[in-house]
Structure 1
Amino acid sequence: MFPVHCQLYFCRLSHEATSELLKNPETRLISCSISATLKAKYPPVPLTDRPQNRHARRWVSIALLSQPAAGSARSRRGPAAWTRAGRGVRAPPDWPQRGARGRCRGGRRREAARRMGTRAGFFEVEILDWKTKEQLCFLDKVEPNATIREIRLMFHKLYPRWYPARQSIKLDPRKSLRDEEILQHLPVGTTATLYFKDLGPQIGWTTVFLIEYTGPLFIYFLFYFRMPFVYGLDERFTSSPHPVVNLACICHSFHYIKRLIETVFVHRFSHGTMPLRNIVKNCLYYWGFAAWLAYYINHPLYTPPSYGKKQINFAVIMFLLCEAGNFSIHVALSDLQKNGSKTRKIPYPTKNPFTWLFFFVSCPNYTYEVGTWISFTIMTQCVPVGLFTLLCFIQMTVWAKDKHCTYLREFKDYPSLRMPIIPFLL
């Protein structure tokens, strides 16, 4: 006769223990109603074909089910005499001994329960296509503390052409998950359903910035030196009589050289890649505007600013201050991600006075960037430069608002005085 609680334990058995249990004649009464289904799905496997590190767990499961009722002949002989029918394999020597009332001594029983709980604590992850909802893979026995990055790597092993940077793993078809998020902290059960989206071929952000910023640097020189195919043969390799033209070339080159240096030595990117198709759009924007600005500033018919040296000197001072502020903010943001940390933190002002703009705005680097192009517009007094500055302001305002909303959403103690890009206004 079996203990009454044996059927409850049966629901917690592992697949290996279940297949062994079905071969034991003593469990015939329990397994009669489900053996056909389980035998078809989990055929029995000989003990010698299994890893030895699962030996104790398997015997825990079998003993809890197949031990005879207290007081029977086999029960009095102890667990060392419990054998599987037709096998002659005895229980492990470290199996807990039973007392007079059939209870395990010490903490062995609690340890057995802990082992079974650990075995049943794995997650199952189902990954579907975000459009068709078709199942792409089913990951079994995923650790509860596995991160989304580790799940990406598991998925990459099954589909090598979709490397981790190309994958977008979503909790629902709209919300993407970050690499550092942990599976057991997500609002899912032990069987998690995730969605996969192919982001297409990717390119690293460092490479993107190097390509975007190197182009304007060399394109501007083609117009500054007045190559023969630009303004005609009569104006080839001539120079402008206005000093502001030379000063504009110096400032423009300084700006992009600073960006290249920051890309290599300062910037730390939370997202390592960008879709390859976007590089064409970005290069057209930066390279195209650089050619348009340079064409008018270096044109033989260009006229200097209306207020002469005063206007130029004011613009140069403003330009240098904004460049120094922009660089200081980038260094401060980079210090938040030391040691490769990708955890988002609230940026605060430092001892550097240029970072004090953090008291009033969330993205002072964009504020300084817009100030740089405003000063360049004042210096050159050129309409194309003004239009480029306006587009920069619109685009950076959109980026600043997105980051500001992200800060407010993730940090309840975020400073309420801060605005996205313009202090007290916007």
Structure 2
Amino acid sequence: MFGLEDETMMGIWALIAGCVMVTLLFIPAPYGRHASKAWGKGYDSRWSFFFMEIPAFLIMGIRFLLSEHKTAVSTVFCLLFELHYFRRTFIYPFTLKGSATYPIAVSLMAIVFNFCNGYFLTQYLTGANVESYPVTWLVSPQFLIGLCLFLGGMAGNRWADHVMANLRKPGETGYKIPYGGLFRWISCPNYACEMVEWLGFCLLTCTPPAWVFLAWTIANLAPRAVSHHKWYKATFPEYPKNRKAFIPYLL
């Protein structure tokens, strides 16, 4: 059961998300194009992503299998969550090319992030709370709208990742300007679509931990999208002037 102690811990966790977002607006996370030697030596980005993402996949899967409160609704919730993290853990990392590295400190922070968010969600979605959902929830407008946003965001995120991963020809290094699709309007459709995906999960589950999960997603990805956008404009004089960071025509 998701009790008062869990709610208190989740509230503190949400406040930390706000602090992290403010920090990242001024100090970009030091990996990828914003890498900094000050954070020490890193290790292969493919394995880094694998270890960063797997805690959420495991905690949801294990706790669901051990739960005494399984319902049709909770099964769908958990399968959707696992669908996202299966791809992020076992497929996406091994589509990455090149020899990019991630600082160990950044990886450890991401592991903590995924473990804590996974804990709060699974505490709710595999506990007695989920028994309050009638099976008709799966055909409710809120669930169906949320499902469309979730799957659409996932598809958009996968498409953007594919475009980014295939910008360089074999043997090439460095960064290039992506074009086409959502890249016509924003610099980071991968981040924008992931935020839409988790907004959909919030709607289809209607759980407080899901909204905190979304808050953390925005806290991490929105500042990074802004940093990427500024980097593109500073690096490429020919960069399209009409693009925004992650919200078309606005931001």
Q: Distance in 1 between matches of 2:229 and 2:196?
A: 19
1:11-410 alignment, distance < 5 Å: 199-225=39-65, 227=66, 237-241=67-71, 243-259=72-88, 260-264=90-94, 266-268=95-97, 272-302=100-130, 303-304=132-133, 308=137, 309=139, 310-349=141-180, 356-410=181-235
Q: Distance in 1 between matches of 2:177 and 2:38?
A: 31
Kept in 2, the 8 Å contact 1:293–1:384? The answer is yes
Could you say what secondary structure the match of 1:342 adopts? coil
Deviation at 1:333, TM superposition (A): 0.7
Q: Would the alpha carbon gap of residues 199 and 387 (structure 1) be closer, same or farther in structure 2, given more than 3 Å must change? A: closer
Larger Rg: 1
Q: Would the alpha carbon gap of residues 333 and 298 (structure 1) be closer, same or farther in structure 2, given more than 3 Å must change? A: same
Could you say what secondary structure the match of 2:43 adopts? strand
Structure 1 segments of 4+ aligned residues over 6 angstroms from their partners: none
Q: Distance in 2 between matches of 1:408 and 1:321?
A: 28
Q: Flag the structure with higher strand content.
A: 1
Q: Distance in 2 between matches of 1:274 and 1:304?
A: 41
One-letter code aligned to 1:329: A
Q: Flag the structure with higher helix content.
A: 2
Deviation at 1:399, TM superposition (A): 0.6
Q: Would the alpha carbon gap of residues 387 and 408 (structure 1) be closer, same or farther in structure 2, given more than 3 Å must change? A: same
Listed one character per residue, the Cα deviations across residues 377-416 of structure 1 (whole Å, up to 9, x for unaligned) are 1111011110110121122111111111111111122111
Listed one character per residue, the Cα deviations across residues 316-336 of structure 1 (whole Å, up to 9, x for unaligned) are 222111111111111111111
Kindly tell me the number of residue pairs found equivalent between the two proteins.
Answer: 212
One-letter code aligned to 2:47: T
Kept in 2, the 8 Å contact 1:315–1:375? The answer is yes
Q: Is there any run of 5+ residues in structure 1 with no aligned partner, and where?
A: 1-196, 228-236, 350-355
Kept in 2, the 8 Å contact 1:244–1:380? The answer is no
Q: Is there any run of 5+ residues in structure 2 with no aligned partner, and where?
A: 1-36
Kept in 2, the 8 Å contact 1:318–1:375? The answer is yes
TM-score with structure 1 length normalisation? 0.47
**1:413 correspondence with 2:238:** yes
TM-score with structure 2 length normalisation? 0.78
Kept in 1, the 8 Å contact 2:64–2:78? The answer is yes
One-letter code aligned to 2:85: Y
One-letter code aligned to 1:293: L
Kept in 2, the 8 Å contact 1:204–1:274? The answer is yes
Kept in 1, the 8 Å contact 2:74–2:125? The answer is yes
Could you say what secondary structure the match of 2:120 adopts? helix
Listed one character per residue, the Cα deviations across residues 294-319 of structure 1 (whole Å, up to 9, x for unaligned) are 111121133338x9322212222221
Could you say what secondary structure the match of 1:345 adopts? coil
